[in-house]
Amino acid sequence: MSTSFTLDTSTSRANPTPAPMKRLTVPAIRARKVDGVTAEPVVMLTAYTARQAQLLDPHCDMLLVGDSLGQVIYGLPSTIPVTLDMMANHAAAVVRGSYHSVVVVDMPFGSYEASPEAAFDAAAMLLKASNAAAVKLEGGEAMAETVAFLVKRGIPVVGHVGLTPQAVNVLGGYGARGRSDAEADKIVSDAKALCDAGAFAIVVEGVVEPIAIAVTEAVSCITIGIGASARCDGQVLVTEDMLGMFERVPRFVKRYEDMAGLISRTAETYAAEVRERSFPGPEQTYQPK
């Protein structure tokens, strides 16, 4: 039995309660794709906090604790400075706030590239500290040995090809990948290598659509698109981007709401009521009996 959180205004905002529901598993996600076809696409969003996980969990199959939290939560210029401790703490919060989705946690830059053994130590730390179900790492064929090493030792892995944000300094920016034949071939071969190594899913980010389709058709594991194609086996977005929390987002993001505007307008109303002393009112104050 997993643990969820419910609101209890009489005590505190989050109280752990048992949830009588089994969480989705890695094999269940992997089994969505049969003979190259995924009848029910995999729904994935990022989550960084327990409350965010609560709200997203009923609608998702997977929750990704992405290293994008470096920019979204901490205001860092990129994902490069993100640490293992940051990832572990946020992943633990997301696990506590969910009961249905498979929780995947990003391995931050520098935690897995040196060797398969170093990657195992870092991945084991993340899963033990958070109780997440799987880790995600960036890189293609060069990471295949590491993926195989982790999977053979009981750690489920999600791969990541195409635009890999941790390699932004090498790539020279966040532009779409796969525009040249050589780069397109490399993305497909990278995906094949990760799948053959045992990755149960692969994020395909920021690639021209025909390449995303080619990757999806070339591998037996699940592909999860972000700036890729609707023909991938699933989709993921940074939740804050799709909610309209930021003015500047990648062109592949669809804004489903204007939460930034709502928050700003609500804060403006609150500020006005404070300044005119209409808040707090009788309903928000305690009177003598």
pLDDT in tens, 1-14: 345 555 554 555 66
**Distance (Å, whole) CA 64 – CA 172:** 25
111 labelled ligand-binding = no
Please give the model's pTM, rounded to 2 decimal places.
0.90
Helices (H) and strands (E) in the chain, counts: 11, 12
Helix (H) or strand (E) holding 136: strand 134-136
Going along the chain from its start, the domains and CATH numbers come out as 23-284 (3.20.20.60)
Q: Which of 43-52, 131-140, 170-179 has the lowest mean pLDDT?
A: 170-179
68 labelled ligand-binding = yes
Q: Which pLDDT score is estimated for 22?
A: 79
Q: Per the omega criterion (within 30 degrees of 0), is the bond before 280 cis?
A: yes
Q: How many Cβ atoms from other residues are within 10 Å of residue 143's Cβ?
A: 26
Q: Which residues are catalytic?
A: 205
22 labelled ligand-binding = no
pLDDT in tens, 167-184: 554 554 556 655 678 888
